Structure formats: C-alpha cells, structure tokens
Amino acid sequence: MSTHTVLGREVRMPVRIRLAHAFMATYLVPAERAQRLIDYSGLGILRLPGGRAMCTLVFVDYVDGDLGPYNEFGVSFMVRHHTAGAPSGIGDLRALVTGQAGVFIHKLPVDGEFTLAAGRGIWGFPKELAEFVVDHDGRTRSGALHQDGQLIADLTVRPGFATPNGRAAASSFDAYSHIDGVTRCTRWEMRPSGMRARLGGAELTLGDHAIAAELRSLGLPRRASMSSSVSRLAMTFEDAISI
C-alpha cells in the first residue's frame, strides 16, 4: 500500500470516497474538434458513427471521503485505451459498449485547497480553484461555476427515470489526465445507487470564461444526448501510472 504526503498530511492508497452526489449531461460533439482540443494528451478520441465524440459535463459533491468534503466540476471525453490497437469505427463502438474505453479528464475545477494539491500531486488531475453554487438536493439538480468573476457554466438537469442499482450499475474504468507534460492513467471504481437517467433533460448556459469558449467551440450549448443524476456514489481511486 503506497502513501503520499500532501500539504503535510498522509494520504494512503487507494483513496476511498464513501459518499458523493453527482449529476451530469453528455453531449455528442464533432470528433475532429474534440481531438484537436485534447491533442496535447497524446490520446485518441473515441469516434462514434457520424464523426461524433462524447463530451460529459459533471458536478460532484464529495460529502465523505479521504480527501475531505469539496465540490468538483469535470469536462471529460471518452478516449481509446492507450493499449488499444489501430483505430477503427467498429472497434471504438465495441470498446464503448464493453467498457474497454477510457475517460480523459480535460478540465477539473474544485473548491478546496487540499483536494487541489492531492489531485495534481497524486494523479496529475488538472484541478484548479473555482467558485460553486450547486443544488444536489432538489428534484431538479443545478450547478453554476465561476472563476475570477466569470461564469464558466450553469447546468440544470431535470429528473430522469430510475435505473437499476447493484452490481450491474458498478463500473471500473481507466481515467486519464495530463499536466506538466505527463499523461497518466488511474484505475477508478464507481459504485452508484439512486441513479436516474433520461434522454436530453439538460439545460446549459455558457459564460465568457476560456473554458466556456472551448465548450462553445464544440458546438455547445446544444441538446444533450442524455443526462443523469446519482444520489449516492462511492468511489475508489488507485495510484496513477505514467504512460
């Protein structure tokens, strides 16, 4: 079992999140534009029929975990696993269906100094400080994210239909990150319960921040392909490896 020292505090691996709340919206965006946006990582966008890629925006409230309580907003893209063979449309679709793809964390604002230091130092996640106004308790979930007085994104997710819990809902996948010229891969296990999902169901407003401009370059805001919420989410993060 490895340990890391973060701001004078010992963090033992794996890091466990015992309770979090989350809501998210997934969009189909032009794959070529998405690839250009993440070229710096050296990873390949997962290409779906119609020349599309999957981009997900998510708000997470970490209530009880090894890094303490904090809020987080993520911009991520589905990518090919770094061990995958030559790219192909059928191969990419199969990887998505069978859970063999990865998720690249492109942006990850948070509102806590400790999780920022831990996220960057242990996993290379691109965490930066921002301001959050979030409602995870209402029937309609909403979150607004600002940085330096500028709106990044304001996302509202309407109620969806209950989905099965249990082992079928649990998933493990590789999360990718890139800072300081290094791309890393982290094994990430999620155990959700109280899940709701629906087609569409999201309303997104973008501000004038640089992150908002990147999302706008992908054609957002537009109709989400799907949205979902999780009332209880447990997670485990392993050590990262450089690739």
Laid out side by side, the sheet with 202-206 consists of: 131-135, 141-147, 150-157, 202-206
pLDDT of residue 159 exceeding 90: yes
Q: Which residues is 175 bridged to in the sheet?
A: 103, 186
Average of per-residue pLDDT across 161-185: 84
Residue 223 banded pLDDT, cuts 50, 70, 90: very high
The residue-averaged pLDDT of 40-62 equals 97
Check residue 92 and report its DSSP letter: H
Examine the pLDDT at 169 and tell me if it is beyond 90.
no
CB 160 within 8 A of CB 228: yes
- Tell me how crowded residue 30 is: count the other CB atoms within 10 A of its CB: 17
Tokens (6 digits) for 221: 């805001």
pLDDT at 89: 64
Average pLDDT across the chain, whole number: 94
Could you give the CA distance from residue 153 to residue 116 in angstroms, rounded to a whole number? 20
Local confidence band at 96 (pLDDT 50, 70, 90 cut-offs): confident
| DSSP label at residue 46 | P
What pLDDT, on the 0 to 100 scale, is given for residue 150?
98
Q: What is the pLDDT at residue 88?
A: 67
Least confident of 52-66, 121-135, 152-166, 223-237: 152-166
**What is the Cα 65 distance to its own chain's centre?**
17
User: pLDDT tens digit string along 3-25?
Assistant: 999 999 999 999 999 999 999 99
167 pLDDT more than 50: no
CA dist., res. 228 & res. 230, Å (int): 7
pLDDT tier at 95 (50, 70, 90 boundaries)? confident
**Residue 8 CB neighbour total at 10 angstroms:** 5
Whether 35 shows a pLDDT value over 70: the answer reads yes
Positive or negative, the CA dihedral 30, 35, 37, 43 is positive
Is residue 177 within 8 Å of 119, Cβ to Cβ?
no
| Predicted pLDDT of residue 116 | 98
Residue 53 has pLDDT above 50, yes or no: yes
